[in-house]
Amino acid sequence: MKKLKLRTVSLLMVLVMFLAACSGGGSEQGQGNTKKNESNPVTDRGNEIVIGVTAEPQNWDPIDTFLLDWSTVANSVFEGLMERTLDLELKPGLAESYEYLDDTTLEFKLREGIEFHNGEPFNAEAVKFSFDRLLGEEGQKGPQYSNYTSIDSVEVIDDFTVQFKLNTPDPVLLTKLAGYGAVIVPPKYVQEEGDENFNNNPVGTGPFKMTEYKRDQTIVLEKNENYWQEGLPKLDKVTFKVVPEASTRLAELQTGKIDIMKRVEVAQADSVKDSGFLELKEVGTPTVYALRFDTAKAPVDDVRVRQAINYAIDKTAILEEIMGGYGMPISTFQSELSFGNNPDLEPYPYDPEKAKQLLKEAGVAEGTALDVYIPGDDGNFKEIAQAVAFYLEEAGLKMNINSVDQTTLISDLIPNAEAGHMYRMGWGGWTLDFDNTAYLMYHEGEQWNPSFKDEKVEELLAAQRNTVDQDEREAIFKELTEVLYELAPEVNLYQAVDLYAVNNRVKNFQPPHEDRLRLEEVTVE
């Protein structure tokens, strides 16, 4: 693979300073993998664990969010009719079985004897309430609604049988029913306590119940003693501690204040590997990262400028030199795990001369400034942004980097088209189907698509949703990816490999592919 062209002393110094700042002066190669002879600092935590996370979603209502930070915690609180295992197997969850009676009628038989955390019964009425709410006036205000518009209605057949009546065939509905917005909520609790209370005090059927929530500080989950899966969960308590800075999370892990660290940064990997009581776990993910363009803002409203910026950046070098190889190149905004990924497309090659030529053709003046917004708590991406700024400067563009709170970026700036010319966008691709990503990123009027629109893209998005023939959908996606590749609505950077650091006292923890922690089988010693 091509190495980073350190053609100037300035870039070399930038990269060295980045790595030193994140690793305490050591290089990515570090000191090798010799384990230190040190004792485990956690001695008195009992049958509970503490997990260090970067952020929390500020709202636990499942119809109000699409953030991975929600799923990290709430996956243990809520459940849906379908579930996807840690090995990405799709199977019934709160449903006992399902059957398509015809192309537009899907019937579920529900499990009996399940209760919500507040004692309400889980039944067909709870399923109908949850989807009426998702598809109704309140749900339509949130980001989940557009995933479920194929559902015309949910009808109660008896206490433990429901039928989904569809207005059109939906080839990915079963997968979506294992997703965030489709989890089942308790009707009486939501109606009597109100939406605002539910935002902060969620109630589901999951293996853990939320007993304490301090915004931006801690979330406490305790064992659901009445959980329907016998013998689970095995832990008594899980505390999520919000620690935005990676260096602080690592320090708390090393001193025993947390047991599991989410989002280990690349430059921290060797410190974890060298520890005598920690283990580094890595997992490939469907999550992808890009610098998306606000295509309504000049000069990036010109496709030639967007293509030029793609040519100007050596993405392979960034992966190798900054990400330490923990990632994979992507040609469109989806991972290799996604149905619809086009293996025939190669990422834009690094071609600075081509970039300069396109900028000249577009009439972009030397020194034109672009505002770029990134989340301030992502140390890896800070380094990437600085490297991108260097490459763009070589092409004749100036990049102003603005660091903001991640929740503000995702929930406020991007939807309101206030995130500059470019902004970091990470996308979980949780359905493992390009439909979810493509529709929410490129369909006109979606929450996280403030400006991009294209008639051909709209036509192809609609076409792939109107057939359940997977071969036909694959052909449509192939054409769609080729169109998007040419339109270049973003700089596609990489598919993520997630790094977790785990204290050796924690057993049976498997890192998830898509941030949705499964903790019911986890134990401690």
Other C-beta atoms within 10 Å of 376: how many?
Answer: 17
State the residue for tokens 């369909």: 443
Domains and CATH numbers, the chain: 9-20+286-496 (3.10.105.10), 55-237 (3.40.190.10)
* Mean pLDDT, 10 residues at a time, the chain of 525 residues: 36 39 37 72 96 96 90 97 93 97 96 98 98 96 90 98 95 91 97 96 98 98 98 98 96 98 94 97 93 98 98 97 92 94 97 98 98 91 96 98 93 96 92 91 94 98 89 97 98 96 98 94 97
Is residue 33 within 8 A of residue 278, CB to CB? The reply is no
Write down the H helix ranges in 40-194. Answer: 68-74, 124-135, 173-176, 187-193
Strand runs labelled E in 226-363: 237-242, 260-261, 278-293, 327-328
Q: How far apart are CA 202 and CA 188, in angstroms?
A: 13
What pLDDT was estimated at residue 4? Answer: 40
Task: Determine if the peptide bond prior to 299 is cis (ω within 30°).
Answer: yes
State the residue for tokens 């500020």: 58
What pLDDT was estimated at residue 436? Answer: 84
Token pair for 524: 């401690």
What pLDDT was estimated at residue 288? Answer: 95
What pLDDT was estimated at residue 74? Answer: 97
Name residues whose C-beta falls within 8 Å of residue 358's C-beta, 6 or more positions apart in sequence.
304, 305, 307, 308, 311
State the residue for tokens 């992507």: 330
Token pair for 279: 């283990």
What pLDDT was estimated at residue 34? Answer: 64
What single string gives the DSSP state of each residue in 430-448? TTSBHHHHHHHHHSTT-TT
Angle (CA) 221 225 227, round 5°: 90
pLDDT tens digits, 232-267: 999 999 999 999 999 999 999 999 999 999 999 988
Specify the pTM: 0.75
What does R_g of the chain's alpha carbons equal in angstroms? 24
